[in-house]
Structure 1
Amino acid sequence: MSSTDTDNDQTAEAAAEAPKKNGKGRRVALIAVTLVVLCGLVWGVWWFLHRNEVSTDDAYVQANIGQMAPRVTGTVAKVFVRDNEHVKQGDVLFTLDPADFRAALAKAEANLEAARASYAASQQDLSVTRQTSAADIDNAKAALESAQAEAQRAEADAKRYRALYAKHEVSQQQLDQKNTQAKSAEAQVRQARAKLAQAKASPDRIKLKQSQASSAQAKIAQAKAQVEQARLNLSYTEIRAPHAGKIAKKSIVAGSQISAGQSAMALVETNPWVVANYKETQLDRVRPGQPVSIAIDAYPDREFAGRVESIQPGTGVTFSLLPPQNATGNFVKIVQRVPVKIIFSKPSQLKGLDISPGLSVEPTINVAGPIKHLDRSDIPATETADAQ
């Protein structure tokens, strides 16, 4: 076979394979276009369904955690709870040895009785002073009048004897005797006047007695306050749960010495909420009252309903211990995050579940959903009580 025939055969084979290659290329292109269209369609559907949703995985469960501490210093007598135990409002958590506080109360009550006795004595003394004061004045006036009368008589006798002495009818001795009697009577008048002045000064003594009585009465009030404080201190030896919750981090046992204000255990409230740290670029349509779908990592098969309660008036770093200072040095812009508080709108969904502070959460806010304006009734009861 000649070379010309060979070339003709190859040309014929190439011409026959060309349509096959072109068909395969078109199929690949069609499949690629179809996949792109499908991906775009899926993305478009996803975007359409989720265009009004704002979500973040930087969110955690929070709750009020109160430190249970006694108001007085003492020795722990008995502990009634264990770690991770649920308690109701009013349950006794632990008690302190009341012996010292009972003794202090008995001493305060004894001081109160002593103060009352002192006040009664001062009142009696005041009454006697008032009664004797009037009598002393009357007696002093009578004594003064008697002394003045006696002085007048003695002066008259002395004057008469001086006249008789001038006529040599009485002796010098008799005259001196009458003069002495007149001077003595005048001295008695001065003494009676002094006693009357002293008796008239009795209102000052009455004021003094009144002041002493008032002081004794004030001591009664002070003793009553001490008794009340001693009773309060005795009542403080029994530490009760201020609200329902769960015990955590118990650090005491019977016999432990504990100071006033020293934490003995933590009490975690049973009304949790969510704090979600949204990017600042996500908040343009977020408003309080919008519905939220909450997914908790600890319960992946459940979905919880919630609502936006409030948006913090500042980014997270603004309220940090050491907020950043960007006035000097190189600046790198970082998207800030703003804490958003979300409450569970259906508390019944939480029954039987352990929704503890710190659990990871992924909330999704429906920014197009109906806005419910929250009032005090929508806030958990314990949180409302703390605010009051």
Structure 2
Amino acid sequence: MTAKKNKYTVTDQTVTRVTSAIAGVITVALCVWGIISFWTYYHYEETNDAQIQEYINPVIARAGGFIVKINFEENQEVKKGDTLIVIDSRESKIQQKQTSGSLQNAQAQLKVLQSNVYTLKRIAEAGKATIAAAKARLLKQQQDYTRTLKMYEAEAATKQQLENNKASLDIAQADYEAAQNNYQASVAKVGDVTTQQDVARADINRIQATLERSKLDVSYTVVTAPYNCRIGRRTIEQGQMIDPGQILAYIVNQESNKWVIANYKETQVAHLKIGEEAEIEADAYPGQTFSGRIISLSPATGSSFSISPPDNATGNYVKIVQRIPVRIQLTDSRATTAGLVAGMNVNVRLKKL
């Protein structure tokens, strides 16, 4: 009976020792954790309300028609200038040919007008010579009439001779005036055709602009990658009819740097400064830390940019701590190769200044 009592006593002592040791370890661990947490809280501002961001842009059709060919799949990497989509361009090319024909016709008409101007100028030059000849004849007839008039007064010429000279003088005067009028008409025709040339040149410029637009419409039927990127979600299939402005796919820019939007509480931003270094840990890669740098703080809280911002002047007021978006540029070169993509959750830690 005494031996059994001693055995239980030893067991109880052992359990007590083990329990005490475990309690001591837990106490020490809690103390260490408390010290680390207090140290971190005192020296760092942390938040887990943060996500990786990248430029995600839609690929938009600038021309409508049936899709002839699609050269990509979802999640595929493409290089700048690679052809993504080919749209049926037959109608656009026909329109381009029609406009090109109209341009050639207008240019030919301009050449005809230029030739007419040259011809009319030659005619006007001939008109000048005709005026000079008519003027010389008029002067001669005036002299003949003057002499005949004096001879008639001296009864050395007959009245018929005087009348004949007077008729010749009137004819010469009329010929001279007709030559002047013909010359003025030729000069006016030159001016008219020159004005028609200006109209033709304006028409050519208009048709050239239309032709350039037709060429653009043809070029829009081939959609290329604007930069090195990865294809995201695609929303079209070959043979599908699309309209101008329709979204065809989404692409993620791989030429620009990634960044983090960390939503810090308003009680934390007093310690955040632009240029401050940050430590970033992604949930997808625990234990792996990336470096970053604050490049900007939002000018307003996130709720202020919502579709319907809160109006605290109405209803019952409950104070809610607001969050300020902070943009942190990833400066670590591993951010691209490590597999960080837009939308990933991360933890951000910034040292208090």
Q: When the two structures are superposed, what TM-score results if normalisation uses the length of structure 2?
A: 0.81
Offset of 1:89 from its aligned partner?
2.0
Within the candidate set 319, 335, 339, 2:305 is matched to 319
Aligned to 1:362: 347
How many correspondences in the alignment? Answer: 330
Within the candidate set 316, 337, 347, 1:351 is matched to 337
Q: Distance in 1 between matches of 2:317 and 2:161?
A: 121
Structure 1 residues 302, 41: CA separation in 2 closer, same or farther (over 3 Å shift)?
closer
Q: Distance in 2 between matches of 1:349 and 1:65?
A: 17
Q: Which amino acid aligns with 2:276?
A: Q
Mapping of residues 295-310 of structure 1, within 5 Å: 295-310=281-296
Structure 1 residues 38, 83: CA separation in 2 closer, same or farther (over 3 Å shift)?
closer
Q: Distance in 2 between matches of 1:273 and 1:324?
A: 28
Aligned to 1:78: 69
Q: Distance in 1 between matches of 2:52 and 2:88?
A: 38
Structure 1 residues 363, 49: CA separation in 2 closer, same or farther (over 3 Å shift)?
closer
Percentage of identical aligned residues: 29
Structure 1 residues 32, 301: CA separation in 2 closer, same or farther (over 3 Å shift)?
closer
**Residue 300 of structure 1: SS of its match in structure 2?**
coil
Within the candidate set 193, 204, 217, 2:201 is matched to 217
Q: Which amino acid aligns with 2:270?
A: D
Aligned to 1:266: 250
Offset of 1:273 from its aligned partner?
1.9
Mapping of residues 86-235 of structure 1, within 5 Å: 86-150=77-141, 152-154=143-145, 157=148, 175=159, 179=163, 182-183=166-167, 185-200=169-184, 202-235=186-219
Structure 1 residues 292, 249: CA separation in 2 closer, same or farther (over 3 Å shift)?
same
Within the candidate set 64, 71, 85, 2:55 is matched to 64
Offset of 1:352 from its aligned partner?
5.2
Within the candidate set 321, 326, 350, 1:340 is matched to 326
Offset of 1:240 from its aligned partner?
1.0
Q: Which amino acid aligns with 1:221?
A: N
Q: Which amino acid aligns with 2:217?
A: N
The answer to whether the 8 Å contact 1:287/1:367 transfers is no
Within the candidate set 309, 324, 331, 2:317 is matched to 331
Offset of 1:256 from its aligned partner?
1.7
Offset of 1:338 from its aligned partner?
0.5
Which structure 1 residue ranges, 5 or more long, are not aligned? Answer: 1-30, 369-388
The answer to whether the 8 Å contact 1:73/1:258 transfers is yes
Q: When the two structures are superposed, what TM-score results if normalisation uses the length of structure 1?
A: 0.74
Offset of 1:112 from its aligned partner?
2.6
Q: Which amino acid aligns with 2:71?
A: F
Deviations 1:337-372 (A, max 9, x none): 10011122113243152x33222222122235xxxx
Offset of 1:101 from its aligned partner?
2.4
Q: Distance in 1 between matches of 2:249 and 2:313?
A: 43
Deviations 1:312-360 (A, max 9, x none): 111112222222233444433221110011122113243152x332222
Structure 1 residues 111, 313: CA separation in 2 closer, same or farther (over 3 Å shift)?
same
Bigger mean CA deviation after superposition, 217-226 or 123-132: 217-226
Q: Distance in 2 between matches of 1:147 and 1:232?
A: 67
Aligned to 2:266: 280
Offset of 1:189 from its aligned partner?
0.7
Q: Distance in 2 between matches of 1:191 and 1:53?
A: 109
Q: Distance in 1 between matches of 2:111 and 2:26?
A: 104
Q: Which amino acid aligns with 1:101?
A: S
Q: Which amino acid aligns with 2:229?
A: G
The answer to whether the 8 Å contact 1:276/1:340 transfers is yes
The answer to whether the 8 Å contact 1:158/1:179 transfers is no
Q: Which structure has the larger Rg over C-alpha atoms?
A: 1
The answer to whether the 8 Å contact 2:144/2:165 transfers is no
Offset of 1:201 from its aligned partner?
5.4
